[in-house]
Amino acid sequence: MIAYLEHFVHENDSEPMLQQQHEELATTLCQSMDLEGTIDYRSTAYAGKDFGGLHASTPFAVVRPSGSRDIASVIRFALRSPNLTVAARGNGHSINGQAMANRGLVIDMKRSSETVIDVVRLDDGYAVDVGGGALWEDVLKRCVSNFGLSPRSWTDYLGLTVGGTLSNAGVSGQTFRYGPQTSNVTELEVVTGNGDTVICSDAQNSELYFSVLGGLGQFGIITRARVLVQPAPNMVRWIRVVYSEFAEFTRDAESLTTRPEGESFDYVEGFVFVNSDDPVNGWPSVLLDPDQLLDPVFLTRSANPVLYCLEVALHYSKGNCSSTVETRIERLLGRLRFMEDALFQVDIGYIDFLLRVKEAEKQAKVNGIWDAPHPWLNLFVSKASIVDFDRFVFKKILKDGIGGPMLVYPIPRNKWDERTSVVLPDGDIFYIVALLRFTNPYQKSPSVRDLVAQNHEIIQVCVRNGLDFKLYLPHYNTEEGWKQHFGDRWSRFVEMKSRYDPMAILAPGQKIFTRHQSC
Ligand SMILES: Cc1cc2nc3c(=O)[nH]c(=O)nc-3n(C[C@H](O)[C@H](O)[C@H](O)COP(=O)(O)OP(=O)(O)OC[C@H]3O[C@@H](n4cnc5c(N)ncnc54)[C@H](O)[C@@H]3O)c2cc1C
């Protein structure tokens, strides 16, 4: 069987398979792997693309497993082959081909199961067990509607899978309080690159557990996660305030993200925008409600090329006394030094707040910019370097905007578990910087190649000026790049790889290791 497969993987480059051959192969492979799910050789094009739209590949086949047993079978099958690789594909929302397997097997995790959620009682609260392929959006809806519970730590956009974000970190405006999503699970079920299905946690198989969290899919495929939850509020006051000076913005943002619970908002983020009336990059991007009109007076308030918006939110319940909520918000806002009257706010349902990017997605799909390439760059920049980053990058290189959000907000390091595979810059506080570029296919705009080059320029400027930073959702093409990224944690990463995926079968699209050839 393996020899038969190799024939198709390697020798049939120029001869497309006939439909009958496809079907024969699918049936034979399904039997050989003993799959309960399906394998598809024809409708595979989607698995050779991703949200970034910068890379393409040709998977050999897409497997739609019925559960973790199928996933283990696929990995064991690949282990027996001379050089097959296996990529778990969450929702393919990576930028640089990380979920691809050129000529390998792509496991479509999103279709692996329905989002079935079981509540688990812990000593000090509750958690839910969810499949690795579940979309966070579905987890949210089911947790709230079935149990009145909600995960504590989110990403801004919820069309991402549980396994996909846990393989990176998963950050958003709640990270300052609860840590990234990798700090908000207590147990995982993982199918390793050896084909073993292992339950792991802090107390059980902890080496695998911490390697997998933020492990870029290198050690195993997450088939289930136990996610911490808490009672869900039903309303949110969503507020944006504007600063003309970076120092004041960072002072207030750092203060809000390091105060004890009860003395701050429930969500804190921030972004940089252009001091103009440009609808995408300028002041209009700060408005929270289409009915809010921009007062022209704001446009003349500051001579700075870019301004800073602090975005905060407070949870409350419809039953709360409105004057108590107002008093709390006034007290919290009263300690901030934003530009006078540059305050915008709306009340919104909790689920709508968490799904806020979905609205933008709908609009972007209509405009064609959702499906166009996204040369995004995400960084963690230490507090010690963020002023220089503002000076060199926001105020110079990006002073005209990027056609999308330029997020920047602080995170205390003590909310991260240093035993996971995620690497962070030094210091007690670092900033998340996300340059979320959108390119408009219908308008004259810089080429994607120029934007990728600008990302390289930003990285080079950071390196040349000695800024302390790490790439988030990292992407390197050379081993040297990865070694530098991991620094003194590289040898541990390599050791864990040799233990849990010794043939380097998993997540080849990360381009960290090369599949070992079997004889
Ligand atoms: C619109 C948008 C908004 C975003 N917002 C945020 C945000 O606010 N915060 C944030 O932190 N990130 C954000 N991201 C980035 C996102 O977290 C990552 O791109 C994530 O990898 C995408 O999830 P996915 O489920 O599509 O994974 P994929 O892109 O499909 O996979 C990512 C990597 O994880 C591996 N993988 C996937 N599933 C599993 C699994 N079950 N087990 C093991 N490995 C697996 C893949 O092989 C691949 O290497 C955003 C991305 C987009 C496109």
- The residue with greater pLDDT, 390 or 18, is 390
404-437 burial, b for 16+ CB within 10 Å, e for fewer? bbbbbbbbbbebbeeebbbbbbeeebbbbbbbbb
Confidence band, pLDDT 50/70/90 cuts, at residue 362: very high
Average pLDDT score over residue span 351-357 = 98
Confidence band, pLDDT 50/70/90 cuts, at residue 32: confident
CA gap 154, 354 in Å, rounded: 8
Helix runs in 148-268, H state only: 162-166, 175-178, 206-212, 246-258
Q: Is 497 in the pocket of ligand 1 (CB under 6 A)?
A: no
CA gap 269, 285 in Å, rounded: 15
Please say if the pLDDT value at position 22 is more than 80: no
Q: For the CA atoms of 48, 219, 64, 8, what is the dihedral angle to 10 degrees?
A: 60
Confidence band, pLDDT 50/70/90 cuts, at residue 351: very high
Strand partners, 185: 227
User: pLDDT by residue (tens digit) across 242-280?
Assistant: 999 999 999 999 999 999 988 999 999 999 999 999 999
Confidence band, pLDDT 50/70/90 cuts, at residue 300: confident
pLDDT at 12: 47
pLDDT at 20: 67
pLDDT at 277: 94
CA of 382 to the centre of ligand 1 (A): 23
Q: Is 508 in the pocket of ligand 1 (CB under 6 A)?
A: no
Please say if the pLDDT value at position 14 is more than 50: no
From the candidates 50, 55, 93, 390, give the one annotated as an active-site residue.
93
pLDDT at 491: 98
- The residue with greater pLDDT, 8 or 157, is 157
Distant-in-sequence, close-in-space partners of 383: CB < 8 Å, separation ≥ 6 = 254, 410, 427, 428, 429, 430, 431
From the candidates 137, 138, 269, 390, give the one annotated as an active-site residue.
269
pLDDT at 108: 97
Average pLDDT score over residue span 420-425 = 98
User: pLDDT by residue (tens digit) across 183-220?
Assistant: 999 999 999 999 999 999 999 999 999 999 999 999 99
pLDDT at 21: 65
Q: How many Cβ atoms are within 10 Å of 364's Cβ, its own excluded? A: 17
All domains of the chain in start order, with CATH: 2-111+500-510 (3.30.43.10), 118-231 (3.30.465.10), 235-471 (3.40.462.10)
CA angle, corner 460, sides to 458 and 465, nearest 5?
100
CB 88 within 8 A of CB 107: yes
CA gap 91, 50 in Å, rounded: 8
Confidence band, pLDDT 50/70/90 cuts, at residue 322: confident
CB 377 within 8 A of CB 458: yes
User: pLDDT by residue (tens digit) across 110-162?
Assistant: 976 566 789 999 999 999 999 999 999 999 999 999 999 999 999 999 999 99
* Nearest residue by C-alpha to atom 51 in ligand 1: 93
Confidence band, pLDDT 50/70/90 cuts, at residue 443: confident
* Nearest residue by C-alpha to atom 12 in ligand 1: 170
pLDDT at 9: 54
How much of the chain, in percent, has pLDDT values that exceed 70?
94
Q: Is 93 one of the annotated active-site residues of the chain?
A: yes
Q: Is 510 in the pocket of ligand 1 (CB under 6 A)?
A: yes
pLDDT at 219: 98
Segment among 9-18, 151-160, 354-363 with least mean pLDDT:
9-18
CA gap 331, 325 in Å, rounded: 10
pLDDT at 323: 83
Q: Is 156 one of the annotated active-site residues of the chain?
A: yes
Q: Is 180 in the pocket of ligand 1 (CB under 6 A)?
A: no
pLDDT at 517: 86
pLDDT at 505: 98
CA of 73 to the centre of ligand 1 (A): 24
CA gap 354, 151 in Å, rounded: 11
CB 508 within 8 A of CB 85: yes
